[in-house]
Amino acid sequence: MADVAQKLGISVVSVSKALAGKEGVSDEMRARIIQTAKELGYVAPVRTKEKQESSGTIGIVVADRFFSDNTFYANLYRLVVMQCAALGYSAVLEIVEPEFERSCQMPNFLVNKRVDGLIFMGEISHTYLQTATSYNLPYMLLDFYVDQFTADCVVSSNVEGGWVLTNHLLQTGRRQIGFVGSILSTTSIMDRYLGYVKAQLQAGITPRDDWRLEDRDASGRFIPIKLPEEMPQAFVCSCDEVAFNLMEMLKRRGYSIPRDVAITGYDDFVFATVASPRLTTYKVDTERMAKAVVAQLHRKIRKKALLVNHSVIGGQMIRREST
C-alpha cells in the first residue's frame, strides 16, 4: 500500500479504502489504485465461504490518527510485516477511522475470522478493544498497554527513557526543565512523563505544572504548542516530531538551541537527524519490539503461551547537539 500511495502521490488510507472496496475514494481514483497495485504485483486474496483451520494471516489494527500522521508507526508496521513473513505469516492492515472506532465497527477479516491472530498497534479506545477481543482470537498489544485488564503487550522502556533524558539534562547543569506531551493521550507519553518526574524528584526538584505543555488534542492529533510565560532552561519532549516542531518554533522566536533552551526528543527516528541542531534523543529498538510481538503472538496461536507476557524493550540515549 505504501508503494502504491507513493507512486500515485496519495495517502495510504486512500489506497486501503480502494483495495477494500470502501467509500471515500472516487471511481476514477479507485481504478487507478487497483491498476497500479496490479502493475506492482499485488494479487487480491481468494475469499472462500468455508471456514479454514488456519488462514496463515495476522491482522494488524491501528487507529487512523496514529498511522496517517505518525511516520514512527509506519516504520513499526513495516518491521512487523517483515517479522510475520519470517514466521510464514502474511499480514493484513486495518486502519480504523474515528467513526468506526467510536461505533466499534470491526474489520471484515475479524468478523469473518480470516486471521489467526491480532496485533493492536498504538492506543485504541478501550471499548473498541474489548469488542475486538471478544472474538476470542489470540492478540497482542504493541507500544501500549491497558491498566483496566490483563493483556500481553510489548512496549519500550518509557519510564527509563524519560528518566535517562531528564537526568542527562540535570547533569548538564540545567535544573529548570519542562515536559512537552499530553500525558493522558497514550500510556507511552504518561510513562515518559513519570520518568521525567522521577529524575527531578530524586534531584530535589518539584516539577512545575506550567512547564508541562500539551502537544495533542482529545482525539490524539498534534496541536500547536503554547509556550509558558516563564521559559525553562530545557524541555523533554514526548517524541522526536514534537521536539522538532518545538525547536523550529523557538528558532523563529529568536532562541538559540541549546544555548538558550536545550531540547530532547524520543524514538531516534527521522526527525532526530533532520533537525538543526540534531536532536539528543532516546532510541527505541523497534526491530526488537516487532520481533518480540510477532514471536509471542505465534506462540499464542500455537497455544504454547500459558502466562501473560509484558515485554519491555530497552533503548539507549543518543546525545547530539540539541543539548
Q: How far is CA 259 from CA 28, 146, 172, 251, 263, in A?
A: 53, 40, 12, 12, 10
Q: Is the pLDDT of residue 50 over 60?
A: no
Residue 19: band (very low, low, confident or very high) from pLDDT cuts 50, 70, 90: confident
pTM: 0.78
* Paired residues of 222 in beta bridges: 216
Q: What is the pLDDT of residues 176-225, one digit of tens each?
A: 999 999 999 999 999 999 999 999 999 999 999 999 999 999 888 889 99
CB-CB neighbours of 319 under 10 Å: 14
- Find the mean pLDDT for residues 120-141: 94
Look at residues 60, 81, 58 and name the one whose alpha carbon lies nearest to residue 3.
Answer: 81
**Grid coordinates belonging to 279:** 536532536
* Angle 271-187-169 from CA coordinates, rounded to 5°: 55
- Cα–Cα distance for residue pair 131/126, rounded to 1 Å: 9
DSSP strand E in 97-201: where? 117-121, 139-142, 153-156, 177-180
pLDDT of res. 101: 94
Handedness of CA 108, 111, 115, 117 (dihedral sign): positive
- Find the mean pLDDT for residues 87-94: 94
Residue 70: band (very low, low, confident or very high) from pLDDT cuts 50, 70, 90: low
pLDDT of res. 304: 56
Residue 256: band (very low, low, confident or very high) from pLDDT cuts 50, 70, 90: very high
Strands 234-237 and 262-264: parallel
Averaged pLDDT of the chain? 90
Residue 48: band (very low, low, confident or very high) from pLDDT cuts 50, 70, 90: very low
Residue 44: band (very low, low, confident or very high) from pLDDT cuts 50, 70, 90: low
